[in-house]
């Protein structure tokens, strides 16, 4: 059955962050690049809650601080300097990045502002060495057309990217961040919450992604674009979903969140029908270690052997609720479990809706129910871990169960690769912003705006028509190029190398997509390298059949070039003399068959010769030679 999302009242707003491939970072001269080697420098900082201007601690900041965490930063000298380490004030705002955002903003029909003021936004998870993120609005109040619909665009901002998390130390008490990513320019654009279906959300995101790429300055590869979604339902809640990395995943994420909220609304109705009141859910935790003294359940056995304990809590009238599915593979029990993991640092929870299982027997369950005085209509949740952790975990479980009676809790969630989402943290309060006093305002003059307006990239529909006309591409290829990250490169290659446009287009769209699917790290190969490969094809030193192999090789061998790839893969083209010699030899070796087949011998010989020289000779040259020798 088709779901009428608009009728149910689904509303989605998008916030898209795209890294910009400018020459330097936003506030220093470092290149916007990441490093893979071991860090040259590490330094330790402790998280402190910052007092905002109003003297209040930001709730999100306080929440992070509560966890009592230390941060270890990792750096190398090529990708960061004293600015990223917060040992030197930021340099003036990168003008190139401002112009890229202005370009995108004008393509989205926004109004540029006159004076750019850099602001500080409190971020205290350690991902910024300063404790805040610098951000500035460049333009606002625009719109884009997606199909027949006009989508209002709220604003375009320029922000510094944060450091990236690389792992944790000391049982999670120290978080490691790499500061190479810190300071890379990000354009952030936000739509109004006027998107009414999962498909529409994806179409709008694709349209925005296309405009950002048309600036020619969008970084590419996984992690360079990140989408945040605000999804809300009437009677549900406003849920912020962070970190969708692939545009293709957006419709699924929205669909699953819609399902999850509907499911939770139904749970609320069911609990109310059963007469459950939040205050009936009590933080009364019972030590049930004795019940499991002889247990065969591995997780519990291991915990008890370590001297830890098992504690349980009764959820009155919750029987059957926890096994209700909200998203594929995700049940109400998972909601409780996510909270327990987060606040109680436990590996997970057990509950009676999924029992008997995991080696827990019916006898143990009977004793467990008895220990917490639970009847048939009640559910019991139990956890095995240290005293402190089981207490925090069960407390979080009870809180989440109380929220289930009220409906959908507003929270920030994080998107998984399969499109489902998981609890991330409570919703932060409204972002606290205050002026960055180290950076003077940047003026956006009318002259600058007019200069940029005069040189805007052509809009998508026009471009598609031009690609088809100018390069003889079919509609499908032209569309694929528009959606690809390689549209600009396509035209450069075709113009410079003389290689057939269709060959280049197929490689940059379909071939790269399938290479990526096969696990080739496509983003490791630079535009210059790709250009070089096609120069090889254009000049006849490389066959077009060998392009994919050369590309894959280059993706695994950094700092190597086309010549290295050709040598390593044994792709050196055969000279005409070498080829003639080989053809003669093949004819001699197959003399008998050639005599028998006569004119039909060509096909057979072509097969034999091409098997020998694939990637080392142009099939057209082989054909000519064979025909000449056979006649
Ligand atoms: Zn720097």
Q: What is the three-state SS of 560-627?
A: CCHHHHHHHCCCCCCCHHHHHHHHHHHHHHCHHHHHHHHHHHHHHHHHHHHHHHCCCCCHHHHHHHHH
Cα 262 to middle of ligand 1, angstroms: 47
pLDDT tens track for 567-592: 888 888 888 888 888 888 888 888 88
Ligand 1 centre to CA of 78 (Å) is 9
Task: At 597, give phi and psi (nearest 5°).
Answer: -80, -25
Query: Residue 555 above 50 pLDDT?
Result: yes
Nearest Cα to Cα of residue 252 among 327, 196, 323: 327
Percent of the chain topping pLDDT 90: 68
Cα of 133 to ligand 1 centre, how many Å?
15
Confidence band of 131 (pLDDT split at 50, 70, 90): confident
Query: Residue 54's pLDDT is what?
Result: 40
Count of C-beta atoms within a 10 Å radius of residue 67: 14
pLDDT confidence of residue 313: 97
How much of the chain, in percent, has pLDDT values that exceed 70? Answer: 96
Which residues on adjacent β-strands are paired with residue 312? 286, 382
CA separation for the pair 270, 41 (Å, rounded): 56
Distance 30 CA to ligand 1 centre (A): 4
Q: Rounded to the nearest whole angstrom, what is the distance from the C-alpha of residue 119 to the centroid of ligand 1? A: 19
Ligand 1 center to 81 CA (angstroms): 4
Query: How far, in Å, from the CA of 175 to the mean position of ligand 1?
Result: 22
pLDDT level of residue 97 (50, 70, 90 thresholds): very high
What pLDDT, in 10s, does the model give residues 313-346?
A: 999 999 999 999 999 999 999 999 999 998 888 9
My answer on whether omega of the bond before 356 falls inside 30° of 0, hence cis, is yes
176 C-alpha to ligand 1 centroid (Å): 19
Average pLDDT over residues 181-210: 95
- Which pTM value belongs to this model? 0.79
- The helix or strand, by DSSP H or E, that contains position 121, with its residue range, turns out to be strand 119-122
Taking the centre of ligand 1 as the mean of its atom positions, its distance from the CA of residue 32, in whole angstroms, is: 9
CA of 574 to the centre of ligand 1 (A): 49
How far, in Å, is the centroid of ligand 1 from the Cα of 490?
32
The Cα 24–Cα 96 span in angstroms is 9
- DSSP letter for 163, please: P
Ligand 1 centroid – CA 95 distance (Å): 16
Ligand 1 centre from 300 Cα, in Å?
50
How many A from CA of 27 to the centre of ligand 1? 7
In the block, residue with structure tokens 């320029």: 158
Q: How far is the CA of 619 from the centre of ligand 1 (A)?
A: 51
Residue 217, C-beta contacts closer than 8 angstroms, at least 6 positions apart: 20, 21, 22, 100
What is the 33 CA–ligand 1 centroid distance (Å)? 11
How far away, in angstroms, is 327 Cα from ligand 1 center? 43
pLDDT of residue 55: 44
Residue whose tokens read 């070796």: 589
**Choice among 52-66, 150-164, 192-206, 429-443 with the minimum mean pLDDT:** 52-66
The per-residue pLDDT for range 352-409, each reduced to its tens digit, is 999 888 999 999 999 999 999 999 999 999 999 999 999 999 999 999 999 999 999 9
Lowest-confidence segment of 359-363, 426-430, 610-614 by average pLDDT: 426-430
- pLDDT digit string (tens) for 443-483? 999 999 999 999 998 887 788 999 999 999 999 999 999 88
Q: Which pLDDT tens digit goes with each residue over 14-39?
A: 999 999 999 999 999 999 999 989 99
What pLDDT is attached to residue 629?
A: 82
Please check the confidence at residue 599 and state whether its pLDDT lies above 80: no
* Cα(122) to centroid(ligand 1), Å: 21
The Å distance, Cα 428 to ligand 1 centre, comes to: 29
Give the tens place of pLDDT for each residue, 136-149.
Answer: 999 999 999 998 99
- Residue 381 Cα to ligand 1 midpoint, Å, equals 50
Find the 100 Cα to ligand 1 centroid distance in Å: 20
Question: What local confidence, expressed as pLDDT, does residue 68 receive?
Answer: 67
Q: How far apart are alpha carbons 275 and 377 in whole angstroms?
A: 12
Measure 437 CA to ligand 1 centroid, in angstroms.
19
Token digits of residue 592: 């008998």
Please tell me the distance between residue 31's alpha carbon and the centre of ligand 1 in angstroms: 8
How high does pLDDT run on average in the chain? 90
Q: From ligand 1's centre to the CA of 57, what distance in Å?
A: 30
Mean pLDDT of 180-209: 95
Looking at the predicted structure, is the pLDDT value of residue 67 above 80? no
> Residue 22 C-alpha to ligand 1 middle, in angstroms?
13
Helix (H) or strand (E) holding 515: helix 512-517
What's the CA-to-centroid distance between 183 and ligand 1, angstroms?
7
Q: Residue 593: pLDDT above 90?
A: no
């Amino acid at each position: 059955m088709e779901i009428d999302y608009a009728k149910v009242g689904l509303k989605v707003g998008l916030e898209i962050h795209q890294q910009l491939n400018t020459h330097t970072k936003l506030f220093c001269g470092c290149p916007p690049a990441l490093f893979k080697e071991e860090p040259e420098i590490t330094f330790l900082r402790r998280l402190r809650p910052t007092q905002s201007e109003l003297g209040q601690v930001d709730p999100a900041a306080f929440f992070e601080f509560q966890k009592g965490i230390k941060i270890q930063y990792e750096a190398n000298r090529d990708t960061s300097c004293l600015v990223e380490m917060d040992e030197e004030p930021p340099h003036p705002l990168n003008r190139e990045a401002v112009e890229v955002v202005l370009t995108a903003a004008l393509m989205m029909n926004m109004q540029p502002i006159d004076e750019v003021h850099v602001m500080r936004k409190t971020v205290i998870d350690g991902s910024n060495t300063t404790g805040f993120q610098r951000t500035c609005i460049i333009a606002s109040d625009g719109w884009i057309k997606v199909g027949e619909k006009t989508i209002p665009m709220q604003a375009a901002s320029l922000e510094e990217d944060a450091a990236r998390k690389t792992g944790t130390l000391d049982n999670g008490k120290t978080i490691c961040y790499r500061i190479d990513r810190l300071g890379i320019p990000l354009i952030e654009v936000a739509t109004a919450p006027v998107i009414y279906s999962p498909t529409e959300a994806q179409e709008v995101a694709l349209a925005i992604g296309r405009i950002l790429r048309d600036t020619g300055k969008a970084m590419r590869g996984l992690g360079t674009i990140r989408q945040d979604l605000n999804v809300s339902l009437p009677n549900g809640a406003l849920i912020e979903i962070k970190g969708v990395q692939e545009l293709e995943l957006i419709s699924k994420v929205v669909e699953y969140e819609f399902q999850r909220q509907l499911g939770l609304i139904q749970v609320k109705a069911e609990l109310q029908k059963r007469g459950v009141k939040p205050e009936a859910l009590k933080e009364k935790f019972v030590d049930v270690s004795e019940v499991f003294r002889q247990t065969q359940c591995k997780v519990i056995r291991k915990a008890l052997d370590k001297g830890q304990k098992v504690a349980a809590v009764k959820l009155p009238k919750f029987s059957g609720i926890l096994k209700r599915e909200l998203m594929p593979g995700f049940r109400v029990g998972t909601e409780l479990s996510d909270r327990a993991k987060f606040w109680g640092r436990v590996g997970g929870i057990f509950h009676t809706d999924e029992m008997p299982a995991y080696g827990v027997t019916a006898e143990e369950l009977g004793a467990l129910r008895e220990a917490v005085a639970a009847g048939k209509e009640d559910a019991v949740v139990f956890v095995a871990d240290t005293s402190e952790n089981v207490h925090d975990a069960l407390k979080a479980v009870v809180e989440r169960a109380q929220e289930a009676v009220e409906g959908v809790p507003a929270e920030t969630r994080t998107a998984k690769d399969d499109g489902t989402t998981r609890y991330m943290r409570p919703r932060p309060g409204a972002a606290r912003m205050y002026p960055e006093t180290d950076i003077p305002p940047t003026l956006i003059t009318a002259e600058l705006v007019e200069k940029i307006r005069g040189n805007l990239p052509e809009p998508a529909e026009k471009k598609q028509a031009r690609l088809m006309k100018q390069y003889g591409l079919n509609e499908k290829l032209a569309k694929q190029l528009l959606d690809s990250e390689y549209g600009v490169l396509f035209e450069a290659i075709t113009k410079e190398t003389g290689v057939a446009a269709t060959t280049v287009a197929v490689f940059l769209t379909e071939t790269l997509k399938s290479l990526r699917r096969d696990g080739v790290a496509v983003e490791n190969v630079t535009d210059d390298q790709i250009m070089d490969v096609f120069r090889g094809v254009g000049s006849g030193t490389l066959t077009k059949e060998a392009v994919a192999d050369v590309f894959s090789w280059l993706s695994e061998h950094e700092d190597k070039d086309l010549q290295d790839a050709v040598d390593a893969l044994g792709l050196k083209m055969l000279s005409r003399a070498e080829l003639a010699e080989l053809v003669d030899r093949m004819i001699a070796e197959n003399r008998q068959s050639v005599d028998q087949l006569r004119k039909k011998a060509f096909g057979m010989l072509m097969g034999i010769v091409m098997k020998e020289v694939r990637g080392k000779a142009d099939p057209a040259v082989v054909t000519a030679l064979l025909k000449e020798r056979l006649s």
